[in-house]
Amino acid sequence: MPVLEHGEVREWRRRTTSEQWLRFLGALGLTASLVAAGAAISAQTTWVFVLDAGLQLRDLGMRMFPPDGSYVGALARPLLDTLHIATLGTALGVVIAVPLAFAAAGPTTPSRVYVRPIAILVLVTSRSVNSIIWALMLVVLLGPGMLAGVLAIAFRSVGFVGKLVYEAIEEAPELPVMAMETTGAGRAQALAFGLVPQILPTMAGVSIYRWEINIREATILGLVGAGGIGMALQASIDALRWSQVSVILLGILGTVVVAELVSARVRQGLR
Amino acid sequence: MASELARQWRPPRRIESAAKRRIILGGVALYGLVALVTLDIDPARIAEGLSRTGAFFSGWLRPDFVTRWTDIRAGLLESLSMTAVATAAGILLSVPLGLGAARNLVPGPVYIASRGALSMFRAFHEIIVAILFVAMFGFGPFAGVVTLTVGSVGFLGKLLAEAVEDVDPAPLEALTAAGAPWASRVVFGVLPQVMPRVLGLALYRLDINFRESAVIGLVGAGGIGATLTTAFSRYEFESVSAILILIIGLVFAAEVISGRLRRRLL
């Protein structure tokens, strides 16, 4: 806490003068860049279309309501497909992620110089590319369908699960592993009995959490042709059948809520 | 005898009954089989697609930043603008909702209404929200900003509410005992405790918003995603590769910077 001295008088200040200036300039820069960003967006916006949004909303609402009840039966299969995509994708993602996590974590990596950076790069790449972009690429390669969806979900999950697991490995106390090694256990045995039990709850929790996220993601993969309820959504939007769109949205909402409840229950049980 | 027993020791099982364990494992295997069968794998189509991998990956390996550079630059700047505005708006709007959704601050009806609003904001994937907002506001970054703002409010509001519910109640009680009105209790009793965490989460959300801004362009909500979709539909894989490399680079840089900042804040 700086104290300024004016001859006899000592003045208490919360911040030094340079700190104050720094904060002021920081705030100014932040505000200026926000204004510039807002102006850039405003320049790209057709305001006439924005201003009649209320009208559009009313129009959309009227087309969506009442929901087309006869369409409910057609939803079961796409919803099940969505569930399969999320579950298989998560499972495959976890299977790929765990060895990568061991390769990326400091205490377990086979080589700090060669293997570790590559494993971390793979995890970062997987996380930076959204699952729908993965799906876009996989649909080009594998054709439209659920397989592309499953792989897209898996590729995106690898980074998420891998990162959290390798952080768990790095944070786990090393003593149990060392104790195993002093009893004459090999490296693999020491890790299996000294480390794995420590990270197993994290692994299970992270996987379930990712499964919940993946259910949500799997609902939209169909927009680019990767199977599931999104295909039905795209078809109904393209045909302007908004009364079916509202049914699909309700179906998605129900599935997401159920998945969230299941995931919360399981994670609570793991604790 | 004793050493024999010791050698046969196994760690205790998580599920003790062997029958129950078999039923669960069998069920999981059965489900996996059923799910795999429904995948409808078409080997002919995959073979055809794989024959194109050559063109696809050669495009990947020769990223072309130059040909579409003006489009890419404009898309990136638009994405960054959308991210900045949406995050700022999200923070501003999430404060009242987040405080309203904290059980220790507000009466029951307000709590339920705020929680309901917050979970409604998070119910749908950003892409679906974007489709609706594009239908409402027309194509362009404005719909994207609104989409990202809604996502940010849902995310930040929920986490703010959780942070507020976890605060140390002693300062609040002291303020109440001294007769402080509600606003003073929030400003002096709650905010100082939650501010560092909220700033950290806001930085994290900045990351997420940039990543999402690359995606909602697919349905017409502007940003680098729009540029990416255009490149994809023109089969310009060299440009696609360049855009993805830029996105990955920026996300990585943002993650490193926001990680540093968060560590300093906490």
ipTM, two decimals: 0.80
Of B88, B135, B140, the CB nearest to A34: B88
Amino acid A94: pLDDT: 96
Query: Is the confidence at residue B47, as pLDDT, over 70?
Result: yes
What residues in chain A have per-residue pLDDT under 70? 1, 271
What is the pLDDT at residue A154?
96
The verdict on B222 touching A (C-beta cutoff 8 Å) is: yes
pLDDT for position B45: 80
Q: Using CB atoms, which residue from B36, B128, B214 is nearest to A130?
A: B214
Run of H or E residues at A10? strand A9-12
Query: What pLDDT does residue B91 have?
Result: 93
Angle between the N-to-C axes of helices A131-142 and B43-51, in degrees from 0 to 180, rounded to the nearest 10: 100
Is B190 within 8 Å of chain A by CB? no
Vertex B107: Cα angle to B183 and B186 (nearest 5): 20
Under the phi-then-psi rule, with left for phi > 0, alpha for psi from -120 to 50, and beta for the rest, what region is B64? beta
Q: Cβ of A141 and B50 within 8 Å?
A: yes
Answer whether A45 touches B (CB < 8 Å).
yes
Q: Do the Cβ atoms of A245 and A236 come closer than 8 Å?
A: yes
B78 interfacial to chain A (CB closer than 8 Å) = yes
Contacting residues of A for B53, CB less than 8 Å apart = 141
pLDDT band of residue B266 (cuts 50, 70, 90) is: low
Mean pLDDT, to the nearest integer, of B105-119? Answer: 88
* Chain B environment of A31 (Cβ under 8 Å): none
CB atoms within 10 A of CB B177: 8
Contacts of B41 in chain A (CB under 8 A): 145, 147
From residue A225, alpha-carbon distances to A147, B55, B230 in Å are 10, 21, 17
Q: Does residue B145 carry a pLDDT above 90?
A: yes
- Identify which of A41, A129, A142 has the shortest CB distance to residue B85: A41
Among residues of chain A, what percentage have pLDDT more than 90?
31
For chain A, the C-alpha Rg in angstroms (whole number) is 26
User: CB count, 10 Å around CB of B105?
Assistant: 21
More confident of the two residues B176 and B55: B176
Instruction: Give the H/E segment covering residue A78.
Output: helix A76-104
Taking 3-state DSSP, the helix, strand and coil percentages for chain A, each rounded to the nearest 5, stand at 80, 5, 15
> Hey, how many other C-beta atoms are within 10 angstroms of the C-beta on B187?
12
Partner A contacted by B214 (CB < 8 A): yes
Higher pLDDT, A68 or B88: B88
pLDDT at B84: 92
Q: Is the pLDDT of residue B1 over 60?
A: no
Whether residue B5 is predicted with pLDDT greater than 60 in this model: the reply is no
Contacting residues of B for A133, CB less than 8 Å apart: 214-215, 228, 244
Which among A42, A133, A137 is the top mutation candidate for probing chain B, defined by the most B β-carbons within 10 Å of its own β-carbon? A133
Looking at residue A91, its pLDDT comes to: 94
What is the nearest CA distance from A11 to chain B, expressed in angstroms? Answer: 24
Whether residue B191 lies within 8 A of chain A, CB to CB, comes out as no
For the segment B173-215, what is each residue's pLDDT rounded down to a tens digit? Answer: 999 999 999 889 899 989 888 988 888 888 889 888 988 888 8
Report chain B's mean pLDDT, rounded to a whole number. 85
Min Cα separation B61/chain A (Å): 15
Tell if the CB–CB gap between B32 and A88 is shorter than 8 Å: yes
B179: alpha, beta or left? (left if phi > 0; alpha if psi -120 to 50): left
pLDDT at residue number A83: 92
B228 to chain A, any CB pair closer than 8 A? The answer is yes
Which pLDDT band holds residue B139 (cuts at 50, 70, 90)?
confident
Mutation site for B-interface testing, chosen from A23, A35, A45 by largest number of B Cβ within 10 Å? A45
- CB of A221 within 8 Å of any CB in chain B? no
pLDDT band at B2 (very low <50, low <70, confident <90, very high): low
Measured distance CA(B237)–CA(B3) in Å, rounded: 65
Q: Is A150 left (phi over 0), alpha (psi -120 to 50) or beta?
A: alpha
Give the per-residue pLDDT at B178.
92
Judge whether residue B115 has pLDDT over 80.
yes
Instruction: Please give the average per-residue pLDDT across B21-50, as a whole number.
Output: 83
* B258: contact with A, CB 8 A cutoff: no
Structure tokens belonging to residue B95: 């404060």
Record: contact B81-A37, CB cut-off 8 A: yes
Q: Do the beta carbons of residue A218 and residue A228 sit within 8 Å? A: yes
Taking the Cβ of residue A146 and every Cβ of chain B, the question of whether any pair is shorter than 8 Å is answered with yes
Q: Which two tokens stand for residue B158?
A: 């929920």
Chains A–B, number of C-beta pairs less than 8 Å apart: 140
Amino acid letter for position A13 = R
Report the pLDDT value the prediction gives residue B7, as an integer from 0 to 100: 66
Asked if B231 contacts B243 with a C-beta cutoff of 8 angstroms, the reply is yes
Query: Beta-strand (E) ranges in A180-270?
Result: none
A8 by Cβ neighbours in 10 Å (0-12 / 13-18 / 19+) ranks as exposed
Q: State the number of CA atoms in the 13 A half-sphere of A174 facing the CB.
A: 9
Q: Which residue has the higher pLDDT, B239 or A4?
A: B239
B74 HSE (CA, 13 A, CB side): 12
- Flag if A49 and B138 touch (Cβ within 8 Å): yes
Instruction: Give the whole-angstrom CA distance, residue B99 versus residue B191.
Output: 10
